[in-house]
Amino acid sequence: MSAQRERKAETAASIRLRKGGEPIVCLTAYDAPTAKALDSHCDLLLVGDSLGMVVHGMDSTVGVTLEMMILHGQAVMRGADKALVVVDLPFGSYEISKEQAFDSARRVVAETGCGAVKVESGIYAADSIAFMAERGIPVMAHVGLRPQAQLVTGGFKAKGKTDSERDMIIAEARAADEAGAFAMVIEGTDEALSAEISKMVSCPTIGIGASASCDGQILVTPDMMGMFAWTPKFVRRYADMAGVIDEAAAAYARDVRARTFPGEKETYRLKKS
């Protein structure tokens, strides 16, 4: 029996070639230990601006800074080996002009070593996506429910209920695809709309609350690991990490209060020279 072929590190180019093939497995990561644990299972790790909410306790992603994204991106790159690492450009770091977008993306790529960036893709973002891609920075698009736009779109609600909303999302997806995005996140959209977009665009689509019709799937890792009491409808919980942490902390507290920790195994007894 021949030895199993060693898995090669993923790139934006290799992910793009996965259109219509084996589903692309993606999760978020915000630190080195988590990235290391996820790396062998994932094709792509996203350092999402969701870190503002799930790591820093913010109410939304709007307050996340470029410096925060770079810091967490550096940490994830220390733990990732095979998965493509993509870092979000946060709110306010790319919307003013294509030159601003490129400069922010240049900093992220240069200071973290990541393989691509992601932008929430209103139609205005198409010029920036093309500008970055032409200058050597792979860009992942993001359409549908766009968390950075929640102040004007009415919060975190599924999209695609009205004809005008559907037309807008289709226009955003088409613009991002034609601009050269290597992949596209579709978030919180009607199943039929997600399927239509996946068939329409040339790049792979990555669904989050967008049905199994997409070319891949992504979830926020703390959500799927069960770190929070409430999660969106589209999340499937694969663990109860909040419960595991609670039980471990309770056991530690009991041992400390009973003076059974530290014990003999955890105590230094040095021989005098």
> Do 233 and 200 have their domain in common?
no
Q: Is residue 10 among the annotated active site residues? A: no
> What are the pLDDT digits (tens) for 124-164?
999 999 999 999 999 999 999 876 656 455 555 666 678 98
Q: Known binder of ligand: residue 60?
A: no
Q: Known binder of ligand: residue 50?
A: yes
> Do 107 and 237 have their domain in common?
no
pLDDT of residue 131: 98
> Do 232 and 159 have their domain in common?
no
In this prediction, residues 248-257 reach a mean pLDDT of: 98
Q: Which CATH number covers residue 125?
A: 3.20.20.60
> What are the pLDDT digits (tens) for 199-224?
999 999 999 999 999 999 999 999 99
In this structure, is residue 244 part of a structural domain?
Answer: yes
Q: Known binder of ligand: residue 49?
A: yes
**pLDDT over threshold 60, residue 265:** yes
In this structure, is residue 52 part of a structural domain?
Answer: yes
pTM of this prediction?
0.93
pLDDT of residue 145: 85
> Do 33 and 48 have their domain in common?
yes
**pLDDT over threshold 50, residue 2:** no
In this structure, is residue 237 part of a structural domain?
Answer: yes
- Strand ranges for the chain from DSSP E: 24-28, 44-47, 84-88, 116-118, 139-144, 183-187, 205-208, 216-219
> Do 236 and 193 have their domain in common?
no
Q: How far apart are the first and last CA of the chain?
A: 57
Single-letter amino acid code for the residue at 54: V
> Do 235 and 179 have their domain in common?
no
Spatial CA neighbour of 183 closest among 196, 167, 197: 197
Q: Known binder of ligand: residue 164?
A: no
Under 8 Å between Cβ of 118 and 46: yes
> Do 149 and 61 have their domain in common?
yes
In this prediction, residues 241-247 reach a mean pLDDT of: 98
Query: Domain range spanning residue 242?
Result: 225-260
Catalytic residue among 187, 191, 247, 264: 187
**pLDDT over threshold 80, residue 111:** yes
pLDDT of residue 156: 57
Q: Known binder of ligand: residue 88?
A: yes
> Do 233 and 177 have their domain in common?
no
> Do 148 and 253 have their domain in common?
no
Q: Chain-wide mean pLDDT for the chain? A: 93
In this structure, is residue 267 part of a structural domain?
Answer: no
In this structure, is residue 4 part of a structural domain?
Answer: no
Spatial CA neighbour of 132 closest among 101, 92, 97, 168: 101
> What are the pLDDT digits (tens) for 6-17?
678 999 999 999
Under 8 Å between Cβ of 101 and 92: no
